[in-house]
Amino acid sequence: MFPILYLLFATVLCNGEFMRPPPGKMILTRHAESSSYPQQVHISAVGTDHMRVSWITTDKRVPSIVEYGTDSGTYDMTATGEHTSYRYFSYVSGKIHHVNIGPLLPDTVYYYRCGRVGDEFNFKTPPAVLPIDFVVAGDLGQTEWTASTLYHVNQSDYDMLLLPGDLSYADTQQPLWDAFGRFVEPYARKRPWMVTQGNHEVEAFPVLHDLHPFAAYNSRWPMPYQESGSPSNLYYSFDVAAAIHVIMLGSYTDFDSNSAQYNWLVADLAKVDRSKTPWLIVLLHVPWYNTNLAHQGEGESMRKAMEDLLYKARVDVVFCFYI
């Protein structure tokens, strides 16, 4: 029997022309605990047997330490990591912690605590082999529609969530990044969330050179780009379940045939051995073929540059989300 992966789509499927519905009511999630208490906790896969635990504290004295183990209340392993912060106009982020933990066993529940403060959390690692359950969701935001989407997502005992762009819809309002992190934490701290950027993550002001694009996204949501040989957090790849190679592309960074992303993609595709890795999945934000009247033609330049590469590599499926 050919190995199978299962996909749950948290999106809208439509025939013909699509008209986007009006936005839902925004939900602003507050932080009600102390300044040292970990907030906005989320995890992402690093390699096949490590996880990156990320969280934020407003207390700068909290150490970037994760205690973890396979029994609740017993933390026989400890890992230390790094921290960062960023400034955006008058906004200054809290202390953003990133700690890689592992090696971890596959398909196993781990219990962990961040910064030696606060409650115990837990997550489950993906399986070592197929089958595997993915959730594919995009354009989340933080509205009543997001709450409905994540409620339905949570009904599935999935292994990993793939999110190709448009996370918080902060659109330069940096406190909304904090609200989004708190909003998705109950889900993102339990399963790895692998993301790439959309247009709402750019947050650039070309005339102000000290405001770098993607500052919030790159600081808050680092992905395993270095492990895949990518020079940028805006595009990367990873393997999972010993049979799937996932490529996350960047719609809002250079992609022409002379670009770093294009050259990285050529090299990354060349390394995939389809006899060992039969599934090849690509995710990006802006669709190359689109029924949405609001965004016609926006992906055409990237399609012309990269579609032939994916076709020749016999990519199995491409997921895009842009509403």
Q: Which residues are catalytic?
A: 295
- The CA distance from 45 to 161, in Å, is 11
Q: Which two tokens stand for residue 61?
A: 């004295």
Instruction: Report whether 98 contacts 182 (CB < 8 A).
Output: no
Question: SS3 helix, strand, coil % of the chain, rounded to 5?
Answer: 20, 30, 50
Task: State whether residue 242 is helix, strand or coil.
Answer: coil
For strand 39-46 and strand 50-57, is the pairing parallel, antiparallel, or unpaired? antiparallel
Q: How far is C-alpha 6 from the chain's CA centre?
A: 19
Angle in degrees, CA 7, 11, 13, rounded to 5? 95
Burial (0-12, 13-18, 19+ Cβ within 10 Å), 255: buried
Q: Residues with Cβ < 8 Å from 81, sequence gap 6 or more? A: 53, 64, 65, 66, 97, 98, 99, 100
Residue located via tokens 């200054």: 92
For strand 317-320 and strand 279-284, is the pairing parallel, antiparallel, or unpaired? parallel
- The CA distance from 192 to 42, in Å, is 7
Q: How far is C-alpha 158 from the chain's CA centre?
A: 15
Residue located via tokens 């020749």: 312
Q: Which of 258, 216, 244, 227 is nearest to 88 (CA)?
A: 216
- The CA distance from 137 to 9, in Å, is 6
Instruction: Report whether 301 contacts 269 (CB < 8 A).
Output: no
Q: Residues with Cβ < 8 Å from 14, sequence gap 6 or more? A: 291
